[in-house]
């Protein structure tokens, strides 16, 4: 695409970063301590857009700071392209970070900010000037090099922070909730741009966020963290479709968590009896046998409501919320719990169902997932 | 009824005041401050300015007669017999040594004060307040007493010499007291808090995430100091330098006690003229020269600040 990007070495297929049983304990005061990360093991592939997803306080930012070198592990190893980086200070790691609040140097111009890393690496002046220009063009700010960073809007600061990090051609780029300070429209735009940038530069991106939609739309793979432990690692659709446990199912979008008792196997499906007696069909998981208590995850958009009395589970609408692209219903099953249901608004408010109506809930075989653990 | 009228009167007084133009209102509110500054700041200064153009009285005081003698005396010596003027350097030398000693005090304070301020600014908030409090502790004792105790430490049989001889650095006591070194040390000790406090105020406001960002962008410790911490704390550094330089330049306690009165600074010269030498106009002229030096330095600084701000805008 351009000179700066073509300098990036061809990406070898391999592991960029490997974490082996990484544990981080913070001492709080004299007595207490907090375990921020607990035996985290993870392999992040070279050239990958990898997302660390979790609620605030789950340890995702701590993990990022360990990789960047701002914190030292309490136990475990961090390997960067096969080399142990223990004891290596941040300025000696081929890693750059885009900080949550950008951390642009207020006493420097945009161009000076972008050039900072290359200056510290003592590159020659002509090369620095060229790279700065290329980078500012890349983030669509070609004519703003002489501005002070304090004169920029939030979105522009974001782009400068990105250009400043990418200018050094790091092998790994860490992004700490870089979009959280932007407004919705800009955030959606930047998602696409970040994804494109990652594909074009071939740099491994490690992206930290608490926003599951961001994670789903941008990532090659996602690691879901909770309370310092990894809950699940996988591609966005694997995590959304096959959540490993109730936490992941609930955190990745909306879901109905239903307790059920396993029944008989019927061809490749297993009957699951909900509290109240209603039955749904799910794919059997592992060695769980008939009589076992399990938790099912049933996505609201997988349930279809119909007025036709011939099929599905009988219920009554208890709540109805128009949301633009879809309508959110709460349906109390006659022989089962209350369900959350999303119906796409295909024609203008086509369903025309309202609170109190009797409906049938159609649940396709396999729509409900049995959660392990 | 009477009470009610009282309330009405009060209301009209307040109403009348608040109906005045904003500029007039602030003038009225500021008038006590102006009066105070005028009476105790500007009036004495004007008096000194006037005195510097008069003739000394025989027993101190002044004779009301216009003369530039005081300023001429600063640079030239009048021959006692034929009254010809010859250029002489001794007063200029006093001025120069004052500037040099004050400059050295600034450098010393900066070298000690910046790391101190940085250390304090990087402690947890609770500890920070305790440390800043400790920095101000010397102010609780009179400067004269503190300078006397410096004399005790520095004298030939003092603890400093005992330590130096004890660890074998010196064979016989070093004469530290009554030297330029002692004066410099005295200035450094007296004015160090004036350096620490403004630098601390500047450093404390710095977003330390910027320091992390610089480390992340391959800057080592030295580069972080040079490119991030010093530029961002420059207002505090400049403020501290002035706060140390100005009182050092006009200091007379340290040179008097620690320098033994042998090595004059411009402050001693002025004190002498109003005291033993009984030449008020010359003392006033020396004070005006000192004031001009300080004003020139301040103006240069102000211009540079303005230029920097224009660059930012």
**Closest Cα in chain B, distance from residue A184 (Å):** 25
Instruction: Say whether A116 and B219 touch across the interface (CB within 8 A).
Output: yes
Q: Which of A345, A352, A350, A344 is nearest to A317 (CA)?
A: A352
Tens digits of pLDDT across chain A (373 residues): 444 444 444 444 588 999 999 999 998 877 788 889 999 999 999 999 999 999 988 999 999 999 999 999 999 999 999 889 888 999 999 999 999 888 999 999 999 999 999 999 999 999 999 999 999 988 888 888 888 888 888 888 988 999 999 999 999 999 999 888 788 888 888 888 889 889 988 899 999 999 998 999 999 999 999 999 999 999 999 999 888 888 999 898 889 999 898 888 888 888 888 888 888 888 887 766 778 888 899 999 999 888 888 788 889 999 988 888 888 999 999 888 999 999 888 766 556 788 888 888 999 888 888 887 5
% of chain B beyond a pLDDT of 70:
95
Q: How far apart are CA A171 and CA B58, in angstroms?
A: 85
Q: What's the pLDDT score for residue B312?
A: 55
Average pLDDT over residues B96-125: 93
Residue in B closest to A92 by C-alpha: B218
Instruction: Say whether B232 and A106 touch across the interface (CB within 8 A).
Output: yes
Burial pattern B77-102, b for ≥16 Cβ within 10 A else e, equals eeeeeeeeeeeeeebeebbebbbebb
**Considering only CB atoms, which residues of chain A are within 8 Å of chain B?**
68-70, 89-92, 95-97, 99, 101, 103-107, 116-117, 120-121, 148, 150, 164-165, 168
DSSP assignment letter at B58: B
Neighbour-count burial of A369, counting CB atoms closer than 10 A to its CB (0-12 exposed, 13-18 middle, 19+ buried): buried
- Name all domains of chain A by residue range, CATH numbers in brackets: 3-246 (3.40.50.300), 254-371 (2.40.50.100)
Average pLDDT over residues B133-142: 89
**Closest Cα in chain B, distance from residue A171 (Å):** 13
**Closest Cα in chain A, distance from residue B107 (Å):** 25
- Nearest by CB to A90, which of B209, B216, B223? B216
**Closest Cα in chain A, distance from residue B189 (Å):** 33
Residues in chain A with CB shorter than 8 Å from the CB of B207 are: 103
Instruction: Say whether A96 and B214 touch across the interface (CB within 8 A).
Output: no
**Considering only CB atoms, which residues of chain B are within 8 Å of chain A?**
207, 209-210, 212-220, 223, 227-228, 231-232, 312
Tell me: pLDDT of B53 over 80: yes
- Nearest by CB to B231, which of A92, A107, A168? A107
Tell me: pLDDT of B14 over 90: no
Burial pattern A98-112, b for ≥16 Cβ within 10 A else e, equals bbbbbbbbebbbbbb
Q: Which residues, 6 or more positions from B270, have their beta carbon under 8 angstroms from its beta carbon?
A: B250, B252, B283, B286, B287, B290
Instruction: Say whether B210 and A105 touch across the interface (CB within 8 A).
Output: yes
Name which of B213, B221, B310, B312 to mutate to probe chain A: the one with the most chain A Cβ atoms within 10 A of its Cβ. B213
Q: Which of B298, B126, B128 is nearest to B197 (CA)?
A: B128
Tell me: pLDDT of B202 over 90: yes
Burial pattern A267-289, b for ≥16 Cβ within 10 A else e, equals eeebbbebeeebebbbeeeeeee
Residues in chain B with CB shorter than 8 Å from the CB of A106 are: 210, 232
Please, are residues A148 and A85 in contact by the beta-carbon 8 Å criterion? no
Q: What's the pLDDT score for residue B8?
A: 58
Tell me: pLDDT of B1 over 60: no
- Which residue's entry shows tokens 């300080």? B294
**Closest Cα in chain B, distance from residue A161 (Å):** 10
**Residue-wise DSSP of B7-19:** HHHHHHHHHHHHT
CATH number of B90-266: 1.10.3720.10
- Nearest by CB to B219, which of A69, A91, A103? A91
Residues in chain A with CB shorter than 8 Å from the CB of B232 are: 106-107
Domain boundaries, chain B: 90-266
Q: What's the pLDDT score for residue A3?
A: 42
- Nearest by CB to A148, which of B217, B231, B312? B312
Q: What's the pLDDT score for residue B275?
A: 86
Instruction: Say whether B312 and A150 touch across the interface (CB within 8 A).
Output: yes
Instruction: Say whether B216 and A91 touch across the interface (CB within 8 A).
Output: yes
ipTM over 0.90: no
Name which of A65, A68, A101, A105 to mutate to probe chain B: the one with the most chain B Cβ atoms within 10 A of its Cβ. A105
Tell me: pLDDT of B139 over 80: yes
Residues in chain B with CB shorter than 8 Å from the CB of A164 are: 217
Name which of A30, A70, A91 to mutate to probe chain B: the one with the most chain B Cβ atoms within 10 A of its Cβ. A91
Residue in B closest to A69 by C-alpha: B216
Name which of A30, A100, A102, A116 to mutate to probe chain B: the one with the most chain B Cβ atoms within 10 A of its Cβ. A116
Confidence (pTM): 0.78
* Inter-chain contacts counted by CB atoms under 8 A, chains A and B: 58
Tell me: pLDDT of B161 over 70: yes
- Nearest by CB to B220, which of A91, A99, A106? A91
- Nearest by CB to A96, which of B210, B216, B227? B216
Q: What's the pLDDT score for residue A13?
A: 57
Q: What's the pLDDT score for residue B165?
A: 86
**Closest Cα in chain B, distance from residue A172 (Å):** 12
Instruction: Say whether B217 and A117 touch across the interface (CB within 8 A).
Output: yes
Average pLDDT over residues B37-44: 93
Instruction: Say whether B217 and A120 touch across the interface (CB within 8 A).
Output: yes
DSSP assignment letter at A148: B
**Closest Cα in chain B, distance from residue A6 (Å):** 21
Name which of B207, B214, B216, B226 to mutate to probe chain A: the one with the most chain A Cβ atoms within 10 A of its Cβ. B216
Say which residue, A309 or B119, is predicted with more confidence.
B119
Tell me: pLDDT of B130 over 70: yes
Instruction: Say whether A116 and B214 touch across the interface (CB within 8 A).
Output: yes
- β-pairing, A221-226 vs A49-53, is parallel
Interval B206-257: pLDDT, tens? 998 999 999 999 999 999 999 999 999 998 999 999 999 989 988 888 888 8
Residue in B closest to A149 by C-alpha: B312
Instruction: Say whether B228 and A103 touch across the interface (CB within 8 A).
Output: no
Q: Which of B71, B110, B3 is nearest to B292 (CA)?
A: B71
Distance from chain centroid for Cα B133: 21
Q: Which residues, 6 or more positions from B111, have their beta carbon under 8 angstroms from its beta carbon?
A: none
Instruction: Say whether A95 and B209 touch across the interface (CB within 8 A).
Output: no
**Closest Cα in chain A, distance from residue B209 (Å):** 6
Q: What's the pLDDT score for residue A12?
A: 45
Q: Tokens in use for B88?
A: 């002489």
């Amino acid at each position: 695409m351009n000179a700066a990007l073509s300098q990036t070495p061809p990406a070898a297929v391999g592991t960029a970063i490997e974490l082996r049983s990484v544990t981080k304990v913070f001492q709080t005061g004299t007595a207490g301590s907090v375990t921020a990360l607990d035996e985290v093991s993870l392999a992040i592939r070279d050239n990958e857009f990898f997302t660390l997803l979790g609620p605030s306080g789950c340890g995702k930012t701590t993990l990022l700071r360990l990789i960047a070198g701002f914190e030292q592990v309490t136990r475990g190893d961090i390997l960067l392209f096969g080399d142990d980086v223990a004891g290596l200070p941040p300025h000696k790691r081929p890693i750059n970070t885009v900080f949550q609040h950008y951390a642009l140097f207020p006493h420097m111009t945009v161009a000076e900010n972008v050039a900072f890393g290359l200056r510290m690496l003592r590159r020659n002046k002509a090369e620095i000037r060229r790279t700065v220009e290329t980078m500012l063009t890349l983030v669509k700010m070609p004519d703003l090099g002489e501005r002070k960073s304090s004169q920029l809007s939030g979105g522009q600061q974001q782009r400068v922070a990105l250009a400043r990090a990418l200018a050094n051609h790091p092998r790994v780029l860490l992004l700490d909730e870089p979009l959280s300070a932007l407004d919705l429209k800009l955030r959606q735009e930047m998602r696409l741009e970040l994804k494109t940038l990652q594909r074009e530069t071939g740099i491994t991106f490690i992206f930290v966020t608490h926003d599951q939609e961001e994670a789903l739309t941008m990532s090659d793979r996602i690691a879901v963290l909770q309370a310092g432990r990894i809950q699940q690692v996988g591609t966005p659709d694997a995590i959304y479709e096959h959540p490993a446990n109730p936490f992941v199912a609930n955190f990745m979008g909306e879901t109905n968590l239903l307790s059920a008792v396993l029944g008989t196997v019927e061809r490749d499906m297993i009957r699951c009896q909900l509290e109240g007696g209603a039955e749904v069909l799910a794919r059997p998981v592992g060695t769980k046998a008939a009589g076992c208590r399990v938790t099912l995850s049933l996505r609201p958009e997988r349930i279809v409501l119909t007025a036709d009395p011939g099929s599905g589970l009988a219920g009554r609408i208890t709540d109805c919320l128009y949301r633009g692209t879809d309508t959110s219903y709460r349906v109390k099953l006659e022989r089962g719990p209350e369900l959350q249901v999303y119906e796409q608004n295909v024609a203008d408010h086509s369903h025309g169902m309202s609170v109190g109506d009797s409906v049938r809930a159609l649940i396709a075989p396999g729509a409900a997932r049995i959660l392990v653990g | 009824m009477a009470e009610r009228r009282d309330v009405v009167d009060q209301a009209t007084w307040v109403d009348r005041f608040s109906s005045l133009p904003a500029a007039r209102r602030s003038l009225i509110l500021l008038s006590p401050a102006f009066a105070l500054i005028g009476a105790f700041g500007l009036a004495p200064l004007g008096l000194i300015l006037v005195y510097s153009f008069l003739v000394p009285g025989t027993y101190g005081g002044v004779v009301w007669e216009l003369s530039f003698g005081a300023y001429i005396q600063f640079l030239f010596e009048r021959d006692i017999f034929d009254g010809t003027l010859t250029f002489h350097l001794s007063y200029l030398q006093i001025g120069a040594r004052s500037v040099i000693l004050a400059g050295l005090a600034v450098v010393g304070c900066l070298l000690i004060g910046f790391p101190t301020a940085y250390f304090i600014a990087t402690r947890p908030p609770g500890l920070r307040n305790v440390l800043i409090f400790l920095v101000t502790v010397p102010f609780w004792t009179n400067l004269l007493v503190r300078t006397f105790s410096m004399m005790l430490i520095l004298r030939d049989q003092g603890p400093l010499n005992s330590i130096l001889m004890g660890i074998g650095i010196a064979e016989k006591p070093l004469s530290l007291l009554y030297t330029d070194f002692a004066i410099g040390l005295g200035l450094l000790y007296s004015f160090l808090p004036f350096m620490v406090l403004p630098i601390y105020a500047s450093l404390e406001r710095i977003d330390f995430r910027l320091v992390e960002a610089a480390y992340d962008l391959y800057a080592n410790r030295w580069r972080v100091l040079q490119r991030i911490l010093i530029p961002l704390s420059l207002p505090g550094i400049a403020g501290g330098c002035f706060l140390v330089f100005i009182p050092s330049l006009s200091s007379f306690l340290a040179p008097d006690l620690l320098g033994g009165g042998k090595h004059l600074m411009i402050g001693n010269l002025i004190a002498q003229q109003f005291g033993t030498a009984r030449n008020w106009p010359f003392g006033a002229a020396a004070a005006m020269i000192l004031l001009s030096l300080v004003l020139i330095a301040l103006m240069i600084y102000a211009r540079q600040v303005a230029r920097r701000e224009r660059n930012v805008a």
